[in-house]
Structure 1
Amino acid sequence: MIVFFKAFLVVPVAMLPLVNPIAIAPIYLSMTGPLDPVTARRLAKRIAINCFFMLMGAVFVGSYVLDFFGISISIVRVAGGIVVGMAGWKLLNDQSQDKLRSSVAASSHAGQWTKEELQRRSFYPFSFPLTVGPGTIAASVTIGTQMPHKPIDWLVTSLASALGVLATTLVIYFCYRFAHKMERFLGDVGGIVLLRLSAFILVCLGIAISWAGISELIKDLVTELVS
């Protein structure tokens, strides 16, 4: 039981600070625009499902996929950090988002997406890289590499990790599902301020992820030169 609960808690504790759905919620709202309640609920559900399978894949097969293509976690962090940083920079300098948020509050029209559009946009950019980014994937792969080799321990740890991933995606779902209520609570000015702050944090997070990967690559290079 100790092994089970330890493995269960490790997943959300390691992933949620990286996913940070509360801080990402304002960015999510600014990118979706006005949505009717049914579409908003379906989109949040689809994003949560996408994130669940991505995290499960990263935990259980991520290390094998990277090894197959000869890609290190450091490379994933560098490339992914650039993607995250660029997304944050775009939002930070996109003045149209402020107008969008103001018009959303003043408009009574609720947007509707087609089923195909919802499925397509729910993955990119909302599931990846906005929610599950390279930092989260790298952490998930790291968790997967620490699985025990003993069959019974591996089974218990795998079940606990799967439940931990489920708990993480449930948090993502509820944060996105009720993001509009947080927007109403903050108001127009508060929403814009939180959006800009979240976008800036996203830029900083992208730089931090890339730098972590670059630092590891430099260390590996120095080690090879010394040896």
Structure 2
Amino acid sequence: MIIFFKALIVVPITLLPILNPIAIAPIFLSMTGPIEPQLANRLAKRIALNCFFLLMGAVFIGSYVLDFFGISLPIVRVAGGIVVAMAGWKLLNDQGQDKLRNSVAASHGGSTWTREELRSRGFYPFSFPLTVGPGTIAASVTLGTQMPNKPVDWIITSIASAMGVLLTTLVIYLCYRFARNMERLLGDVGATVLLRLSAFILLCIGIEIGWAGISDLVGDLKLR
């Protein structure tokens, strides 16, 4: 039971600070525009489902995929840090959030997306890399490499880890599903401030991820 609860708690505690869905929610709103609540609910479900499979894949088969292609975790961190930092920088310097929302409303009639648009946008950019970014994938792969070798302990840890991933994606769903309520609570000024702050945090996270990868690569060079 100790092994089970330890694995169950470790996964959300490790991943949620990196995912930070509360801070990403304003960015999610700015990119979706004024869509109707029913569509927002469907999109939040789609994103949560995509994130669940992304995290499960990273935890259980991520290390094997990286080994197959000969890619190290430091390289993933450097490349991922660049992607995340660029996204944060773009959002931080974007002065046309109102224009973005108006253009989205005009192009989609203010409420509707096609099923194909919902499916494609639900994965990119909302699921990856906005929510589950390279930093989260690297952390998930690291969790997967710490699985015990003993068969019974591996099964218990795997079940607990899967439940931990499920809890994590449930938090993602709730944050995105009720993001509009958060925006109404904050008001226009508060939402704008939170958006800029979130974009700055995203930029800092990207730099931190990239710097961690560079530090690991430099450390490897010193050992050679």
TM-score in terms of structure 1 length: 0.94
Q: Classify the secondary structure of the residue corresponding to 1:22.
A: helix
Counterpart in the other structure of 2:172: 172
Q: Classify the secondary structure of the residue corresponding to 1:165.
A: helix
CA distance in 2, matches of 1:102, 1:129: 24
CA distance in 2, matches of 1:19, 1:65: 22
Counterpart in the other structure of 1:200: 200
- 1:155 correspondence with 2:150: no
Q: Classify the secondary structure of the residue corresponding to 2:218.
A: helix
Partners of 1:26 and 1:191 within 8 A in 2: yes
CA distance in 2, matches of 1:84, 1:33: 21
Counterpart in the other structure of 1:71: 71
Partners of 1:52 and 1:166 within 8 A in 2: yes
Q: Look up the equivalent residue of 2:142 and give its one-letter code.
A: T
- How far residue 172 of structure 1 moved from its aligned partner, in angstroms, is 0.1
TM-score in terms of structure 2 length: 0.95
Partners of 1:98 and 1:192 within 8 A in 2: no
Q: Classify the secondary structure of the residue corresponding to 1:147.
A: coil
Q: Write out aligned runs for 1:82-101 (5 A).
A: 82-100=82-100
Partners of 2:78 and 2:210 within 8 A in 1: yes
CA distance in 1, matches of 2:91, 2:78: 20
Q: Write out aligned runs for 1:78-157 (5 A).
A: 78-100=78-100, 110-157=110-157
- How far residue 149 of structure 1 moved from its aligned partner, in angstroms, is 0.7
CA distance in 2, matches of 1:126, 1:134: 13
Equivalenced residue count is: 221
Summarize the Cα distance change of 1:60–1:137 in structure 2 as closer, same or farther, 3 Å threshold: same
Q: Classify the secondary structure of the residue corresponding to 1:174.
A: helix
Per-residue CA shift, 1:152-188, capped at 9, x if unaligned?
0000000000000000000000000000000000100
Partners of 1:50 and 1:127 within 8 A in 2: yes
Q: Look up the equivalent residue of 1:154 and give its one-letter code.
A: W
Q: Classify the secondary structure of the residue corresponding to 1:121.
A: helix
Q: CA RMSD in A?
A: 1.6
Q: Classify the secondary structure of the residue corresponding to 2:48.
A: helix
Runs of at least 5 residues in structure 1 that lack an aligned partner in the other structure: none
Partners of 2:74 and 2:213 within 8 A in 1: yes
Per-residue CA shift, 1:65-103, capped at 9, x if unaligned?
000000001000000010000011111111111445699
Runs of at least 5 residues in structure 2 that lack an aligned partner in the other structure: none
Partners of 2:4 and 2:157 within 8 A in 1: yes
Q: Look up the equivalent residue of 1:168 and give its one-letter code.
A: T
Q: Classify the secondary structure of the residue corresponding to 1:113.
A: coil
Partners of 1:44 and 1:173 within 8 A in 2: yes
Q: Look up the equivalent residue of 2:204 and give its one-letter code.
A: C
